[in-house]
Structure 1
Amino acid sequence: MKYYLLLFLFVTTFTLCMGQNTSKIKGVVVNAADGSFLESVNIVNLNQVIGTTTNNEGEFQISAKANDTLHFSYLGFKSIKVRVTNDWIKFGDSKIELTELALALEEVVVNQLRLTGYLEVDIKQVPIINNNYRYSISGLPNTGYEATSPGAVSKVLGSIFNPADFLHRMFGKKPNELRKLKKMKQDDEIRNLLASRFDREMLTVLLNVDRVDLDEIVSQCNYSKGFIQTANDLQILDAISECYEEFKLLSKSRSNRL
């Protein structure tokens, strides 16, 4: 009886260790319609916050442990989440099928200028283009918070606590998401994937927020609508991270003065 008890404890401990240890898992991603290999599919381990892409034969390899969730996304195909199982870790290979989406053209609204012939009237119809400036955002040569006038910098410094407080309210109940911000900035593969994307899908999945909430966070952090509409996902990530780091720095300085 004692022998069986020890054997049971050994098997249980071994199973738990297998579930907790991180392993390299392999797989191949194919088109569900015809079985053809899909190259350059974006794959992110949402738990470990690491990423990779498939090669020209649809193959990939990524670190994971049991119950981790992998997110697969590819342009023109429906994104999916796949749970890592013990069988996958044990046998080391799996085939992932992605379903192609129907292509659809987005509605384009064209605003026609109705000229009157009077310069003073017509010039008011021309959209105003503002010069934006920024600090430490990937892919942008300039530095500084966005500003459309020389006095905007002081306004930003005066209101920095409000946007950062908003950011903290968004993630205050989700400490894991705040830790993910740091992990995403450290993983080169994740940063490369985000730099090539403009759809915010990977960011919303990684941070566990809605697209509307994500845009609101960036907006509350004093970034312009033009930046939000044109920035790639990596620039949005850096903007959010910079806003929160600035908040912590200013909060620490304020506490020291008190």
Structure 2
Amino acid sequence: MKRILLLICVMFSTAAITAQENKLAIGVILDAANDKPLESVNIVNLNQVTGTTTNNNGEFEIAAKVNDTLHLSYLGYKSIKVRVTNDWLKFGSSEIKLTELALALEKVVVNQLRLTGYLEVDIQQVPAPNDNYRYQISGLPTGYEASKPSGINKIIGSIFNPADFLHRMFGKKPNELRKLKKMKQDDEIRNLLASKFDREMLTALLNVEKVDLDEIVSQCNYSKGFIQSANDLQILDAISECYEEYKVLSRGRNKRL
């Protein structure tokens, strides 16, 4: 009987602790200049790796606990990070304002081709195609992308040194490696990343600098063309794929030893 009572007490205690930790952070996001609600603002809980967007009234709610950090981003506005406080969760909705960025147009240079009528001469003026190739290694479900001149060297390097850069980057940050799996499983996060190309949310989630993020993908044998053109979701999948290949090759090494 005592054991049953003890078990019931433990169950209620656990439920109470869970209820205290898992609450909803409710808020409304406005334009700082005119207090108009902003629709479709991206909100991501960086600690729990969950995401949502605001409705047409600028309102949102997301699972959070005290000291979680929310990353807010919206096209044309300055992204911010907001810490979830006990008062916020206790007293209800919070009003958050985003500041619009000044947009600058980049100068575009158009190079006109001057054809001579001689095929041998004119063909030299045509820009070379982007020679990106993907190579397959036997035993791995996916391949390696690399530029043509250095592709073979990169493959050989990856066999003997598979994604060591990725391991060094995240070796002291095991939580970030666990976030990779969470990000791939959360449909809201994947949808948000698929529409982004600035790496901002991805760097915030993985807690790395943009230059380090590009270097990781490069060291995982993805071409410069892929890095420049891929959206954030493709970069996430590339890093995740690279890490899975690293684990496959590492298991193979351990078996041989």
TM-score between both structures, scaled by the size of structure 2: 0.82
Deviation at 1:53, TM superposition (A): 0.4
* Separation (CA, whole Å) in 1 of partners of 2:165 and 2:111: 35
* Separation (CA, whole Å) in 1 of partners of 2:134 and 2:235: 12
Bigger CA drift: 39-48 or 107-116?
107-116
What's 1:97 paired with? 97
* Separation (CA, whole Å) in 1 of partners of 2:162 and 2:218: 8
User: What secondary structure does 1:145 align onto?
Assistant: strand
What's 1:123 paired with? 123
What's 2:156 paired with? 158
* Separation (CA, whole Å) in 2 of partners of 1:20 and 1:172: 32
1:15-94 pair list within 5 angstroms: 17=17, 21-94=21-94
Alpha-carbon spacing, 1:30–1:195, altered in 2? closer, same or farther (3 Å): same
Deviation at 1:36, TM superposition (A): 0.5
C-alpha offsets along residues 80-139 of structure 1, whole Å, 9 cap, x if unaligned?
Answer: 11000000111121011001111111233444556566543442332221464559xxxx
User: What secondary structure does 1:184 align onto?
Assistant: helix
* Separation (CA, whole Å) in 2 of partners of 1:197 and 1:87: 32
Q: Which amino acid aligns with 1:159?
A: G
Give the RMSD, CA atoms, in angstroms: 2.7
> Sequence identity of aligned pairs in percent?
76
Structure 2 residue 195 is matched with structure 1 residue 196: yes
* Separation (CA, whole Å) in 1 of partners of 2:111 and 2:19: 58
User: What secondary structure does 1:253 align onto?
Assistant: helix
* Separation (CA, whole Å) in 2 of partners of 1:224 and 1:109: 25
1:131-142 pair list within 5 angstroms: 132=132
What's 2:8 paired with? none
What's 2:6 paired with? none
In the alignment, structure 1 segments of 5+ residues that lack a partner are 1-12, 136-142
In the alignment, structure 2 segments of 5+ residues that lack a partner are 1-12, 136-141
Deviation at 1:242, TM superposition (A): 0.5
Is the contact made by 1:19 and 1:86 (CA closer than 8 Å) also made in structure 2? Answer: no
Is the contact made by 1:163 and 1:217 (CA closer than 8 Å) also made in structure 2? Answer: no
The number of aligned residues is: 236
What's 1:246 paired with? 245
Q: Which amino acid aligns with 1:86?
A: N
Q: Which amino acid aligns with 2:75?
A: L
* Separation (CA, whole Å) in 1 of partners of 2:162 and 2:116: 43
User: What secondary structure does 1:63 align onto?
Assistant: strand
* Separation (CA, whole Å) in 2 of partners of 1:163 and 1:257: 16
TM-score between both structures, scaled by the size of structure 1: 0.82
What's 2:212 paired with? 213
User: What secondary structure does 2:216 align onto?
Assistant: helix
Q: Which amino acid aligns with 1:201?
A: E
* Separation (CA, whole Å) in 2 of partners of 1:40 and 1:194: 14
Is the contact made by 2:145 and 2:222 (CA closer than 8 Å) also made in structure 1? Answer: yes
Q: Which amino acid aligns with 1:194?
A: L
* Separation (CA, whole Å) in 2 of partners of 1:111 and 1:178: 45
1:217-232 pair list within 5 angstroms: 217-232=216-231
Deviation at 1:41, TM superposition (A): 0.2
Deviation at 1:156, TM superposition (A): 4.9
